[in-house]
Structure 1
Amino acid sequence: MTVHDLWAGLSRAEIADRRARNAPRWQRRWREGGGRDGRQRKASYKEAQKAQALLDDAAQLEQPRARRIMRESVTVRTLIDRHLATKADRSEGTLRDYDAQARHVNDAFGDRVASTLEATEVATWAARSGVAARSRKKQVELLRAAYRRGARDGLVDVDPTHDIVVSLGYKEVSYLSSEELVAVLAAARDDVDRALLGVMGRMGLRQGEATSLRVRDLANGALSVTTSGAASDRTKTRAGTRVLPVSASLLPLLESLARDRDPSAWLFESPRRPGHPVGESYAKGALLRAITAANIGRAHPIQHLTPHGLRHTFAAIALGELHYDLVTVSRALGHARPSITLDRYGHLSRSGLGDLMSAMDLAVGTAASIGDI
């Protein structure tokens, strides 16, 4: 029983051709029964399935030597491919991002035997210059997830990414205060602009989520967010699919916009291209017009920001002014995990600590009263 590389000895061009066709690369051969009289059997595996071929071989042989050979043959690329195969149900945009980060990891370590990669090598690579910190962080996290999955599957013993952290540093995100948001919405050119800016600034929708809303998504006083836009029929993550109650002040605008229209029509339809949703430039223009109009006569002008800044505005108001908890705000934003909300907006909730301590005093008493018990 052996595992053979069907691409061995081929030129780079021939390997590239087979890779493009997703042709089988590994072939496991064995005989049923004992001796030379046993029937010869074969099983072929794709390029990313070498580890699986060796796992099958080891399971059938039940020999320690086979498992040792398997561990000595698994590459970093194999671990990455196995991990990404479990993410096939993510949105198109997320998958493109995974593939882009995987290319950088594979360029650096793809052909390395996974068990030979050392922590110092990974740390040096993670600290390299010329690459944005957020990209380096994503690449390290992808490599870490692949190694952890490999460890669970028995393919590797040690995770060389352990304790390696890429610091993003603190960067203040532009957003509006509640008073400024009210002024901007009031200064919008018309109810269409006001409703579009409202679902982003007052409900936290991403720009793509807002512009890809259909009339049918508004029902029973709530908005169903089911797609992230950008030609995708899904949201960015599973958590992105959500139903959000519409505030009493925003609901009449949306209901007026949807009234007597085909349920499949775009809620925010392009005025220049009937049958198409408004584009990115429209949202930018609507926000620019509204801020410019709101600044007329203001002693302290409102800063200009991108449409995505309205989503930050929602988070800032919810956490910093209303003191809502991170879990609730995370659900409203459609983040995959509350830790994402904490990482990006946690600093905004610090103003709520005083209220927390005061509430704790009311609940359990002051220090003096506790001492009297």
Structure 2
Amino acid sequence: MWRARYRDENGKEHARHFKLKRDAQRWLDEQTAAIVTGQYADPVAGKITWTRWVELWRDRQTWADGTRDAATTACKSVPWGDRALKSIRPSDVQSWVRAEQRRGLKPSTIKTRLNYVSMAFRAAAADKRIATNPAEGVSAPRQRRAAAAMQLLTPEQVRAALDVAGIFRPFVAVCAFAGLRLGEAAGLRVRDVDFLRRTIRVEQQVQGSTIKEAKIVPPKYGQERTIPVPDELITILAAHLAEHGGSGDDLLFRNQLGRMWNRNSAGEEWRRIREAAGLGDVTLHDCRHSYASSLIASGCDVVTVQHALGHAQPSITLNTYAHLWPSAEDKTRAAAAEFARTVLDSADPARTEGTKAQVRSSAHR
């Protein structure tokens, strides 16, 4: 037997026995090369199970509760929970992705889950528990383009929704005319509305899908913001307060039982509204998309739309709404058309006078 041994970066000795010298030397060369190139992973550390590693990795993150829950759901959905971390291969990850697709999960959901799983593997590689991330390069199902997947409500559809919304009318209005997310609208306080300056301040949101889970947390990405809003929305909110009362830190919107709206209760109310208004399968979040579309159609730039929507980066705004901005071809055509109108309109008086002179001359003859 041949015994090959080496010491890792921490001075810990590792050894294996081989029947052939060349096998021992090959293994030793592989381990030495991995240490030199920074790709070394402790073989003992890689024996930890996937489930245990995810627990350790998740508990040291500074995530919001929603992010933590999403990561937990994603990492529990894999079939290799009891296996050693170092035994998981790219083929295992790709097979899991295909299985999720066969279950009927949306491509966007699968992509989100794959991202969290990849993050866990990447952290394990950084911690020298595995040499590489087996989820790297694994492809998720193709998603529909934003232009095809996004549903925008027409003015007539928004009006129809508001007409049948009842107590939920002001809630729908702040989503459609201020672009608030569901949780941000649910978390609005009376003092967040400045009726004199016609602005809404977003400083918090309701997170959670049920009465038991719902709680007040900072807005998504921590993006507190002040949104200029139209007089029409201010009028709707003023009438709402006059009827239902409230002041200061009181929540602006509450349901029929006096409780704050959560994701489930607001979603159920919206489904009632869209059925009554005949809106098909549009979501309350589509009101926010429609608001963004109105800003873009009015000529607002990317940064303006980003700030209004509370996106952390302009790239998020572009990735979501790039198809709504005019293309270079559209801008070129519009600019040329404006120039042509200016030239031709300025020539019209002279052309008109010339035509009149010709008519008079013909009459005299």
The TM-score range, normalised by the shorter chain, is 0.5 to 0.7
Give the alignment partner of residue 253 of structure 2, picking from 262, 265, 268.
268
Task: Tell me if the contact between 2:201 and 2:224 (Cα under 8 Å) persists in the aligned partners.
Answer: no
Partner residue in 2 for 1:172: 149
Q: 1:228 to 1:342 in 2, by over 3 A?
A: farther
- In the alignment, the residues of structure 1 paired with residue 47 and residue 165 of structure 2 have an alpha-carbon distance, to the nearest angstrom, of 64
Query: Is contact 2:306-2:314 (8 Å) kept?
Result: yes
Superposed CA offset, 1:91-137 (max 9, x none): 3x3332222112113xx223333333222222222122214133322
Instruction: Give how far 1:203 is off.
Output: 1.8
Structure 1: which amino acid aligns with 2:204?
A: T
How far apart are 1:344 and its partner, in Å?
Answer: 4.4
Partner of 1:156: 130
Please give the alpha-carbon distance, in whole angstroms, between the structure 2 residues aligned to 1:358 and 1:153.
Answer: 55
Q: Is 1:104 matched with 2:87?
A: no
1:226 aligned onto 2:197: no
Task: Determine the C-alpha separation between the residues in 2 that align with 1:330 and 1:97.
Answer: 24
Structure 1 residues 120 and 284: alpha-carbon distance in aligned structure 2, compared to 1, 3 A threshold:
closer
Q: 1:254 aligns with which of 217, 231, 237?
A: 237
Counterpart-to-counterpart distance in 2, 1:201 and 1:182: 8
Q: Which residue of 2 aligns with 1:48?
A: none
TM-score under structure 2 length normalisation: 0.63
Return the letter of the residue paired with 1:313. S
Q: 1:201, 1:311 within 8 Å by CA — same for their partners in 2?
A: yes
Deviation (angstroms), 1:346: 3.8
| Residue 125 (structure 1) aligned to one of 70, 84, 96 | 96
CA contact (8 A) 2:190 2:246 kept: yes
Q: Which structure's CA Rg is the greater one?
A: 2
Number of paired residues?
285
Among candidates 205, 208, 215, match of residue 183 of structure 2: 208
Q: 1:327 to 1:218 in 2, by over 3 A?
A: same
Instruction: Say whether 1:63 aligns with 2:40.
Output: no
CA 1:95–1:207 in 2, change beyond 3 Å: closer, same or farther? same
User: Matches of 1:189 and 1:137 in 2, distance apart?
Assistant: 34
Q: Which amino acid aligns with 2:96?
A: W
Query: What residue identity is the alignment partner of 1:90?
Result: A
Say whether residues 1:85 and 2:59 are aligned partners: yes
2:323 aligned to which of 339, 347, 350: 347
1:49 corresponds in structure 2 to none
TM-score (norm 1): 0.62
Q: What is the CA distance between 1:244 and its match in structure 2? A: 2.6
Distance 1:236 1:263, change over 3 A: closer
Change in Cα spacing, 1:227 to 1:166, as seen in structure 2 (3 Å) is same
Partner of 2:283: 306
Q: Secondary structure at the match of 2:205?
A: coil
Match of 2:227 in 1: 244
Match for residue 294 of structure 2?
Answer: 317
**2:23 aligns to what?**
none
Contact 1:266/1:277 (8 A) holds in 2:
no
Which sections of structure 2, spanning at least 5 residues, go unmatched?
1-7, 16-40, 209-213, 337-365
The code of the aligned residue for 2:82 comes to D
- Further displaced range: 151-160 or 141-150: 151-160
Aligned equivalent of 1:29: none
RMSD: 3.7
Gaps of at least 5 residues in structure 1 are: 1-57, 293-301, 362-373
Q: Which has the higher helix share?
A: 2
1:176-218 CA deviation, whole Å, 9 max, x = no partner?
13x336644774667x654322211122222232133221222
Q: Distance in 2 between matches of 1:169 and 1:135?
A: 10
Give me the identity figure in percent.
22
1-structure distance, mates of 2:320, 2:55: 29
| C-alpha contact (below 8 Å) 1:174/1:309 kept by paired residues | yes
Contact 2:184/2:202, CA 8 A, preserved across alignment: no
Q: Distance in 2 between matches of 1:101 and 1:184?
A: 38
Query: Are the structure 2 counterparts of residues 330 and 251 from structure 1 closer, same or farther at C-alpha, using a change threshold of 3 Å?
Result: same
Report the counterpart of residue 195 of structure 1 in structure 2: 170
Return the alpha-carbon distance in structure 2 between the equivalents of residues 233 and 74 of structure 1: 37
- Code of the residue aligned with 1:195 in structure 2: it is P
Distance 1:181 1:87, change over 3 A: farther
TM-aligned CA distance change 1:326 to 1:160, over 3 Å:
farther
Residue matched to 1:295? none
